[in-house]
Chains A and B, each alone.
Chain A
Amino acid sequence: MTKTLEIDIRSAEGLKVNRRLIKRKTFAVVKIGDKSRISNLDESGESNPTWNHKSEITIDSCSNSGKQFIFIEVFYRTGSGRNKKIGEAKIPATDFMGRYSPEGHLNILSYRLRDEYGDKCGIVNVSIMVKPGSTEAIKDYGACSSQVRTESPSIDGYGGRIVTGVPVYCVIQRQS
């Protein structure tokens, strides 16, 4: 089941390289799987760029491989014209599909960017909307069951794998 998303890469704040605010032109890239969309280059060359770049991208909402993520990467252009990555943010699909977000609702979200060392290097602001009525015919109900989530603890979309716990029987129990 694929859905179409309208993603608007709005702006970023506090972009830093090596702990210092950058003064270069920047752009952002949205990636889902192997699909990507690139924003325009922000000409003002400062650490709080505004792009307001809207694009559409499809996401497979019912993948058997577990949770889905959207990656937002921010790059700057060096003096010699090369592109260097500042950092990236990982958006779990559950933040805009699921519990608090019906289809057609505009989700305005912000994420922390982290560089290759895992250090904080800014914040990126995006808005994402799942276009209603864009789902194709549901071919296999079973495949979607992994997407259903019941009331769960408050930590939302904590990016990671699902682990399975195996009960361990206490030796003492057998004797009683």
Chain B
Amino acid sequence: MGSCWSDGSHGGGGMVGVGGTSSSAATANDALSFSASSLRDGDVISKSDAMVVVYSKGRDGTLAELFRSEVVLNSLNPKWIRKFTIGYQFEIVQTLLFRVYDIDTQFQNSKEEMLRLDEQQFLGEATCTLSEIITKSNRTIALELKRKEGAAAQTQSHNNGKLVVHAEESLASKTTTEIVFRCLNLESKDHFSKSDPFLVISKIVEHGNPIPVSKTEVLKNDANPLWKPVFLSVQQVGSKESPLVIECLDFNGNGNHNLIGKVQKSLSDLEKLHLSGQGINLFLPTGVGHKHEDRVLKSQLFVDKFTETVQHTFLEYLASGFELNFMVAIDFTASNGNPRLPDSLHYIDPTGRLNAYQRAIVEVGEVLQFYDYDKRFPAWGFGARPIDIPVSHCFNLNGSSTYCEVDGIQGIMNAYNGALFNVSFAGPTLFGPVINAAATIASESLAQNARKYYVLLIITDGVITDLQETKDALVSASDLPLSILIVGVGGADYKEMEVLDGDKGERLESSSGRVASRDIVQFVALRDIQYGEVSVVEALLAELPSQFLTYMKNRNITP
């Protein structure tokens, strides 16, 4: 195997994250290495001199070139040395296209980057998603190379050879940091008592508001709080240099928390702060519009502890065979409007434009379906009257009375369309029954010791009427391998719902005195997400890896 590369550097050079909203400092999480077998012979006298080019494929099919390997001379079974590093993002579908070219002899002494691909001989291409590669147990996938021209593809496809792609996870991404934060002299936002402070740590993305990745607990009536340790993995935030926004908020029972002050630091800045033992002053953005300025406060933030450990990551669990089972529950209450009218949230547009419900199902389902092996998803509706049955708050979307699963995302869409015109919309909006149905399925897998984690997506247009029953159901389910994602569509006021999302305050408590073992809810109001910026899916799924890891760590389940 001969190999030729111009400058000998490989690996760490290509820092890329696929997907429009990734921060520019995304860590190289996975190094992909390539080899191929049985390539077509491009040259007459000698064997092919092959090079691999990797593109990312957007949803609309546009290609962006990401990487070129070196040229391996004179081999039909080349093994390339140069590795392609790519940041894996769980919440985005990262489609990659690989093309193999035979480089003509006259070009072989020029740098790979300078080669013009249309002057080379095209040997074949293959496509797959990044999640397909890393969820395989050996993190390797073998793809058949195909020729672009569709017509002759049939006869030629098995002659073009295979491309083998292998992904290694880099050690940097396995690092988790444990940080203990402390503040001094926090200003009181309440008139008669001190603030009830808590911290929210968010990562900055290119477009849109920062996405929260972690938060501390709420301490009551404390101007000099010392919080419990916060765990952040380098993978969650991008890299040690990625800027993070740390906001100190005053907890308010109605969900409207006041900002006491904030700072913007990266993980390495926090490490330096810890080593120096000094504090940094929080600042508060004041003024509106053009007069925007930051007022420096007397309050200070200290880092009392900063330790790094190598922990099992979300990817390791997935690669070892853990499945994420997707389940969906759809709101069919009358407040959605008559589905036949264009102003209804359930309106099926004849032009094919997806309504809010369909978009949520497709966007979340597309990401999660790769991690569900049998692609059979339980699907329910609630708040309506199926034919001949009184109002049900958990009926099977497929219309069956015995089983609740449908096949694939398309199956969910078909069942949804079918149910839309076969049920009478009613009310009220209750979550308890669907949460219990999902919890029952999750607990059944416990008895079989299956390596499964369940994700229930609830899409609703309104505020729930059974807040206490929902809290009871969530508390009962908080110890199960289950996460619940709630998407609010339409224009309702979701302040009450935000209570369910543990990010916003205290642990949920049931009516019997039991407290939730962990936060299993993530709530996002569609209206708060601007189009084209941070996608709904990212905001919903941002917490899923840490909810999953908390469950596994608590029970010492290793990949």
Contact = CB atoms under 8 A, between A and B. Distances in A.
B189 interface: no
B446 A105 contact: yes
A72 to B, nearest CB: 11
Interface in B388-428: none
A157 B473 CA distance: 11
Interface string A97-121: 0011110011111111010000000
Contact of A108 (B432, B479, B509): B479
B443 A156 contact: no
Contacts of A6: none
User: Which are the 4 A-B pairs with shortest beta-carbon distances?
Assistant: A102-B447, A100-B443, A110-B515, A154-B432
Interface string B330-364: 00000000000000000000000000000000000
B443 A158 contact: no
Contact of B476 (A48, A91, A100, A111): A100
Contacts of B159: none
A99 B446 CA distance: 11
Most chain A C-beta atoms within 10 Å of own C-beta, residue among B446, B479, B509: B479
Given A100-B439, A108-B554, A156 B513 contact: no
B436 interface: yes
B212 to A, nearest CB: 22
A114 B554 CA distance: 26
Contacts of A153: 432, 469
Contacts of B469: 153-155
5 contacts: A95-B476, A100-B479, A100-B480, A105-B447, A112-B509
A89 interface: yes
B292 interface: no
Interface in B473-518: 473, 475-477, 479-480, 507, 509-517
Contacts of B432: 153-154
B433 interface: yes
A89 B513 CA distance: 8
Nearest to B473: A154
B513 A154 contact: no
A159 interface: yes
Given A101-B446, A110-B514, A159-B513, 20 more contacts: A48-B228, A91-B514, A95-B514, A99-B440, A101-B443, A102-B443, A102-B446, A102-B447, A105-B447, A107-B479, A110-B507, A112-B509, A154-B433, A155-B469, A155-B511, A156-B512, A156-B514, A157-B512, A157-B514, A159-B512
A158 B512 contact: yes
B458 to A, nearest CB: 15
B76 interface: no
B476 A154 contact: yes
B514 to A, nearest CB: 6
What is the interface residue range for chain B against chain A?
20 to 34
Interface in A104-152: 105-112, 114, 123, 125
B247 interface: no
B444 to A, nearest CB: 9
A156 B555 contact: no
Grouping DSSP codes into helix (H, G, I), strand (E, B) and loop, the B interface class, with mixed when no group exceeds half, is helix
B215 to A, nearest CB: 16
A155 B512 contact: yes
Nearest to B432: A154
B91 interface: no
Interface string B431-471: 01101100110010011000000000000000000000110
Contacts of A159: 512-513
B472 A111 contact: no
A155 B512 CA distance: 8
Contacts of B480: 100
B516 to A, nearest CB: 7
A114 B480 CA distance: 26
Contact of B477 (A100, A108, A112): A100
Contact of A123 (B447, B472, B511, B515): B515
Contacts of B473: 154
Nearest to B436: A154
Contact of A156 (B433, B446, B447, B476): B476
Contacts of B510: 155-156
Contacts of A91: 514
Given A102-B446, A106-B555, A111 B515 contact: yes
Contacts of B475: 156
Contacts of A123: 507, 515
A54 interface: no
Interface string A40-52: 0000000010000
A110 B476 CA distance: 11
B445 to A, nearest CB: 10
A119 to B, nearest CB: 13
Contact of A110 (B439, B470, B511, B516): B516
Nearest to A125: B517
A90 interface: yes
A68 to B, nearest CB: 14
A156 B435 CA distance: 13
Contacts of A157: 512, 514
